[in-house]
Amino acid sequence: MQPSTLRTSTVVAHIARRIWVVLTSISLLAGGCAPRQPFYFFEDGDLSHYVGAIQKLEYPDACEPPLDEAAGAIEPLTLSNPSFENIWELSLEEAVRTSLENGKVLRNLGGRFASFGGPRPQTGEPAVSLLTAPAGTPTVYDPAIVETDPFRGVESALALFDAQLSSSLTWERQNRPQNIGGVGTQIFPQQFLGDTGNWTTGVQKRTATGATWGFSNLTVYDNNNSPIRQRNAAGQVIVPSTWTTNYDFTFNQPLLQGAGVTYNRIAGPDFFDNTLGRPNFRGVLLARINADISLADFEAGVRNLVSDTEQSYWELYFAYRNLEARKAGRDSALEAWRRVHALYVEQARGGEADKEAQAREQYFFFRSEVEQALSDVYRAENRLRFMMGIAASDGRLIRPSDEPTTARIAFDWQQSLVEALSRSAELRRQKWIIKQRELELVASKNLLLPRLDAVGRWRFLGMGQDLLNQNYLPYEAGGTDPLFGTDAYSTLLSGRFQEWQAGAQFLMPLGFRRELATVRHHQLQLARERARLQDEELEASHALVDAIRNVDTNFALAQTNFNRRVAAERQVEAVQAAYDASTVTLDQLLDAQRRRAEAESSYYRAIVDYNRSISQLHFRKGSLLEYNGVFLAEGPWPGKAYFDAHRRARQRDASLYLDYGLSRPAVFSRGAITQNFESLGADARPEQLPPRDPATREEPTAEQLPVNPGSPSSGSPGASPAPIRQPELLPTPGTRSGT
């Protein structure tokens, strides 16, 4: 019976396992494969500390109040909201001055005005260059930021030559067991006890020739139970502690690599960047050039601000003129529709249904043109407000008060070319970069020399029982107790213990592989920048050609469109008379009215383009700021700076003159740039520019457009060219009124 029982138990166990597997599978299928949270007895459900995401969109904790002009803008002018309080008659001079006053950030309209005098700006898109690329927009702070850069600024480069004062004070307690036994315990203690103090103070100075001069002091206090201390007959230590002090005068003068004023002012003392593993030139001259490059960028930013402001001003002027032309067309179309409609009501001849519909369509066409032109006025006015840095809407509507010039202005080509190649901020910036690369090449060639330094040290030593006491006893070798009662400074001042060291240190890589690669690298950089300058000059000359061509073309278009405007006006009068006499059809009258409106708009478009092209020509010549009466100058220093500078000038006046030519770098700057018309091309190299006749001056000719009978009374298009505008000098940005 036993085997049967075992088999029965095996069958039951097998069945039980099958049942367990089936139940487990059913439970898994019912519950799915998702994980489940465990159960906790004391859980209260407060999960406020739970963070369900790694990152969230949050506001920074920065309390920056919004600008009043931005937060205080009222409802803008639209076709459904055309009401405003008053008209703001604004001159171009006032617009430019307001833009400069509010020009902390040198705003621009992006690429919409990139082609001056050619394709006109897009009026359907807002200017959002600051929102899309804020770091690419220049500001008035950029030159000062470059000047004060802690790694590349001028002061940072000069700081490498400042004297460095260093000091350290340490105190150490020693309690150390020693492995000494047997007879050695009669001489050396098994426990070494001692106190040690170190005080180090020094001054180190780098010079422009690459030398390093140092003056340092080391004072050491030593108190221990060493068996070599002086003892008396009873074996007691007489002087358990000693003071030592010494003064070191050291120098290190490079003789080959790293030597010379020019190299050290280009590369700087610490030219090798250990983090990058390559030479990192950041001397005073390169820092100065970086500051000059930032000033060129700043000038270009101010120039672009003034240019975009003037372009926006004339675009607003055209928007008003275009609106007037469309309104005149609308009014004439309305008058024609009324006359045809009256005939249509009376069922008279000339009042047919097709003619009435045609006249009505003409009216609504001009009405849509007026609505679009009015919207363009609002957009152009808003763009001018943006360039001026004022509120988008403040209850006033800006209207230009200046009239564009209609006189023909001729520019001398050779003189304009000289100005374009010598006064362009972009070309001057590229020339500074070339000078920077030339200096870096000079410094890199110095690395081809082996390192040979002359080193030396002179040391005065002193030792005594005390550091300083009233006995004034120096240490004298010999005798039973030479250290008792002495002090270290008396020993030092006695001059009996002096040490000196003189030598040379030599280091040279075999092959100069990295140094040769560095020189070649800077040669290629210099060649690249020179090639860029040549192509930039070529581009500047082509841009100047386009600018001069645009001036001539737009003037010719202005004359042609003026004659077209006069002819269109006479055509409307003739067709109107013929229509009244029933000799022409209505469609001829409507077509003549439409042509007159288009001729009116085209004439003012050509006049505005002519003035924009004149501005663009000054832009290409580099004289746009002077053309608008804007001159760049350094802001005043604080009063204390003038006081100190005056004192230094008096000290130099009272001192003896010494020729410091050996420590003065070579000339790398030609001085301040020219900002007036009287000295043209003063900064250009004669071999680079074409010859110029000094007697030639830019003067407008007597040729003028015909007098426009439809011009406003505030200005005459046939008048002589307006004199050069002279607004105030560029003030310190910061004000936000401009109203």
Q: Which amino acid is at 409?
A: I
Cα within 13 Å of Cα(164), Cβ side: 12
Residues 281 and 293 in one domain: no
Q: Looking at 487, 514, 541, which one is the last position of a domain?
A: 514
Does residue 655 lie in a domain region?
yes
Asked if 119 and 240 sit in the same domain, the reply is no
Coil, helix or strand for 487? strand
Q: Are the CB atoms for 405 and 725 separated by under 8 Å?
A: no
Q: How far apart are CA 298 and CA 425, in angstroms?
A: 9
Q: Say whether both 224 and 361 belong to one domain.
A: no
What is the predicted pLDDT for the residue at 10?
60
Residues facing residue 253 across a β-bridge? 454
- Looking at the structure, do residues 321 and 458 belong to the same domain, yes or no? no
Select from 514, 540, 571 the last residue of a domain.
514
Same structural domain for residues 328 and 451?
no
Assigned token pair, 720:
């002589």
Asked whether the beta carbons of 421 and 684 are under 8 A apart, the reply is yes
Domain boundary, last residue among 474, 492, 514: 514
Q: Which pLDDT belongs to residue 332?
A: 87
Q: What is the count of structural domains for the chain? A: 2
**Contact indicator for 253, 209 with CB cutoff of 8 Å:** yes
Answer yes or no: is 42 within a domain.
no
Q: What is the pTM of this model?
A: 0.76
pLDDT of residue 121: 46
pLDDT attached to residue 705: 38
d(CA 700, CA 610): 14
Q: Cα(329)–Cα(594) distance, rounded to whole angstroms?
A: 7
| pLDDT the model gives residue 739 | 26
56 phi and psi angles, rounded to 5 deg: -135, 155
> What distances in angstroms separate CA 701 from CA 62, 309, 449, 697, 705, one per listed residue?
59, 27, 64, 12, 12
pLDDT tens per residue across span 480-526: 677 778 889 998 999 889 999 999 999 999 989 989 999 999 999 99
Instruction: Provide the residue range defining the domain that includes 463.
Output: 154-287+446-514
SS3 labels along 254-299: ECCCCCCHHHHHHHCCCCEECCCCEECCCCHHHHHHHHHHHHHHHH
CA distance linking residue 602 with residue 85, whole number of Å:
31
**What are residue 248's DSSP bridge partners?**
216, 459
Q: Which amino acid is located at 381 in the chain?
A: E
Instruction: Decide if 727 contacts 629 (C-beta within 8 A).
Output: yes
Query: Looking at residue 713, what is its pLDDT?
Result: 33
What CATH number should be reported for the domain holding residue 639? 1.20.1600.10
Residues 130 and 170 in one domain: no
Q: Which residues of the chain have pLDDT under 50?
A: 1-6, 112-124, 273-277, 680-739
Q: Say if CB 544 and CB 620 are below 8 A apart.
A: yes
In 3D space, the residue among 457, 442, 411 whose CA is nearest the CA of residue 696 turns out to be 411
Same domain, 169 and 206: yes
